[in-house]
Amino acid sequence: MQDTGPYDDRLDKAFLALADPVRRSLVARLSRSSATVNELAEPFQLSKQAISKHIQVLEKAGLITRTRDGQRRPCHLAPAALEELTFWIDGYRLAAEARFRALDGVLAAMRTAPPPNKETRKEVGKDD
């Protein structure tokens, strides 16, 4: 259980925030334009309090920011926070894909020139 600092906590909150269809729908809506809580709540059958809570989850995750306009508190999407997530994901995705491509090369070589075959196992090994 190594501690990688507050970085982990940000990712925790951001991924958790997106792990809910209502909140993802709010993100989708806000990608088109900023909006207030009432505007965001309208398409849903949920109470405005529930939407308000969802918005707070998104805000604490850094995925949205809020400003002030009289009694209204408009929400704005924070693209930079979304970019951090894709950055994290793509780092590991690309590494794995590169590894798989390398394996494809190995398998192709094995097809053209069969190996000594000292030991046959179902799994190629821990570095497939």
Q: Which positions touch a second copy (CB under 8 A)?
A: 1-2, 4, 8, 11-16, 18-22, 24-25, 27-28, 30-36, 39, 43-46, 67-70, 72, 74, 76-77, 79, 82-83, 85-86, 88-97, 99-100, 121-123, 126-128
Shortest distance in whole angstroms from residue 19 CB to a second copy: 4
**Residue 58: Cβ within 10 Å count:** 27
List residues binding DNA (CB under 7 A). Answer: 16, 19-20, 22, 36-39, 45-50, 52-57, 66, 70-74
**How many CA atoms, within 13 angstroms, populate the side-chain half-sphere of residue 24?**
6
- Between the alpha carbon of residue 53 and those of residues 30, 41, 47, 50, 64, the distances in Å are 16, 11, 10, 5, 13
Q: Which does 57 bind (CB under 5 to 8 A by kind): a second copy, DNA, none?
A: DNA
The answer to whether residues 55 and 26 touch, using CB atoms and an 8 Å cutoff, is yes
